[in-house]
């Protein structure tokens, strides 16, 4: 039995994934994509196949070895047992909420990230910078989508503010309920392409998802009038087919997005500040009162906002703290894993004796 890779193209299969196959894989395996992640189960699909299966068991010390929505798996063509998780083209991950310091995978193999905010009190430059750093770290094209543009007299002000956060970033202001208004986004939704929606609750992600898919399958709920904050509506990460034959990934609203391993993403988003720090007189400049500080000079000249500098410092410190915490825990888990393997090996040798 062999599979036809052309049938997989509509699911997002491309040369990147095909290059990972061995000759025997063509004869003995079935590639499937993870379409949804539920509590205790994965929904996978491919040409002529749609089924649920248990989640993968993570490899000791490797939290990225589990499957997330958008991943590609190779199944045994006789038993449908998962054999291998293919290397990812892109991966979104975050520090999970709480104190466990665990890594949470959000989505894999995304081509474009629609970063959704709204033209009201929920608009936050700081939150958008977090999302932009996440996109750039994953090497995924970010597009800022500002919803509720029909509910303000000055949508251009929100667009202008968002455009300043990253040079060249694309910003679209739309009415998420109007298909004609959202049509400007279809350029990123072509056949086999995967786009993801990311944003806090209440900004209109689910409404936009329904408009783009041309359905009303995704539950929506209004915002609270007192603070323009939203209530969670999406409860599971899932891929939805688009009329353009692309795929749309809706994600639960994320209020606490802790960055981890996002150093290069932050350097891209705050490239202006990074460039300034490299021209300070002292390499260990704290950008406070040191002489010859290029950062303080830019603030005094009005070319750098104090608040942007504060946001950069906060995110850099957060990323360093979370990355170090995860690295320490991974080292402990690897040590424990080696100890367990040593014990098992010793017991096997004793049985032989």
Q: How many CA atoms lie within 13 A of 352 on its CB side?
A: 6
Q: Is the pLDDT of residue 177 over 80?
A: yes
CA–CA gap between residue 85 and residue 63 (Å, rounded): 13
Region 53-81: mean pLDDT is: 89
**216-236 pLDDT, tens digit each:** 666 555 444 444 444 444 456
Give the mean pLDDT of the chain.
85
Angstrom distances, CA of residue 326 to CA of 50, 61, 65, 194: 35, 10, 15, 29
Confidence of residue 344 (pLDDT cuts 50, 70, 90): low
The CA-based angle 9-212-252, given to 5 degrees, is 90
Phi, psi (rounded to 5 degrees) for 240? -125, 135
Q: Is the pLDDT of residue 285 over 80?
A: yes
Among 37-41, 134-138, 309-313, which stretch is predicted with the lowest mean pLDDT? 37-41
What Rg, from alpha-carbon coordinates, does the chain have? Answer: 23
CA–CA gap between residue 100 and residue 113 (Å, rounded): 28
**121-135 pLDDT, tens digit each:** 889 999 999 999 999
User: In 10 A of CB 81, how many CB atoms?
Assistant: 9
User: In 10 A of CB 8, how many CB atoms?
Assistant: 21
Q: Which residue has the higher pLDDT, 60 or 350?
A: 60
Region 11-17: mean pLDDT is: 95
**180-214 pLDDT, tens digit each:** 999 999 999 999 999 999 888 888 888 999 999 99
What is the enclosing helix (H) or strand (E) of 177?
none
Phi, psi (rounded to 5 degrees) for 13? -70, 140
Paired residues of 170 in beta bridges? 143
Among 37-41, 138-142, 321-325, 347-351, which stretch is predicted with the lowest mean pLDDT? 347-351
CA–CA gap between residue 294 and residue 271 (Å, rounded): 14
Q: Is the pLDDT of residue 278 over 70?
A: yes
Selection from 127, 132, 126, 87 nearest residue 113 by Cα: 132
**245-263 pLDDT, tens digit each:** 999 998 765 556 678 889 9
pLDDT of residue 227: 45
The CA-based angle 168-322-101, given to 5 degrees, is 130
- Whether the Cβ atoms of residue 91 and residue 138 lie closer than 8 Å to each other: yes
| DSSP string for residues in 242-277 | -TTS-EEEE----S--B--S-HHHHHHHTHHHHHHH
Q: Which of 154-158, 231-235, 317-321 has maximum average pLDDT? A: 154-158
Q: Which residue has the higher pLDDT, 286 or 58?
A: 286
Sorted by where each starts, the structural domains of the chain and their CATH numbers stand as 5-89 (2.30.30.140), 94-250 (3.40.50.300), 263-336 (1.10.40.50)
- Whether the Cβ atoms of residue 143 and residue 114 lie closer than 8 Å to each other: yes
């Amino acid at each position: 039995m062999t599979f036809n890779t052309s049938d997989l193209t509509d699911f997002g299969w491309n040369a990147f994934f095909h290059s990972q196959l061995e000759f025997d894989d063509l004869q003995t395996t079935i590639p499937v994509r993870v379409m949804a992640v539920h509590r205790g189960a994965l929904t996978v699909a491919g040409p002529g196949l749609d089924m649920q299966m248990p989640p993968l068991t993570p490899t000791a010390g490797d939290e990225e070895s589990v499957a997330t929505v958008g991943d590609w798996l190779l199944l045994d063509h006789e038993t449908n047992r998962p054999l291998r998780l293919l290397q990812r083209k892109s991966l979104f991950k975050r520090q999970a909420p709480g104190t466990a310091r665990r890594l949470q995978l959000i989505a894999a193999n995304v081509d474009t990230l629609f970063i959704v905010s709204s033209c009201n009190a929920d608009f936050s430059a700081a939150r958008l910078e977090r999302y932009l750093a996440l996109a750039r770290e994953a090497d995924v094209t970010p597009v800022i989508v500002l919803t509720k543009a029909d509910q303000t007299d000055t949508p251009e002000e929100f667009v202008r503010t968002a455009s300043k956060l990253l040079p060249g970033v694309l910003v679209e202001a739309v009415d998420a309920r109007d298909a004609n208004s959202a049509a400007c986004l279809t350029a990123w939704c072509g056949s086999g392409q995967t786009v993801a929606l990311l944003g806090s609750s209440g900004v209109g992600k689910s409404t936009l998802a329904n408009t783009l898919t041309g359905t009303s399958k995704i539950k929506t709920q209004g915002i609270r009038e007192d603070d323009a904050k939203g209530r969670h509506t999406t409860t599971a990460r899932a891929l939805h087919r688009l009329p353009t034959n692309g795929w749309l990934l809706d994600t639960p609203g994320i209020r606490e997005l802790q960055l981890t391993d996002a150093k290069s993403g932050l350097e891209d988003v705050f490239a202006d500040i990074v460039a300034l720090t490299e021209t300070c007189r002292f390499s260990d400049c704290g950008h406070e009162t040191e002489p010859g500080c290029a950062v303080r000079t830019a603030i005094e000249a009005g070319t750098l906002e104090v608040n942007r500098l504060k946001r950069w410092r906060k995110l850099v410190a957060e990323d360093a703290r979370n990355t170090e915490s995860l690295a320490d825990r991974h080292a402990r888990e690897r040590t424990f894993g080696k100890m367990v393997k040593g014990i098992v090996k010793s017991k096997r040798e004793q049985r032989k004796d």
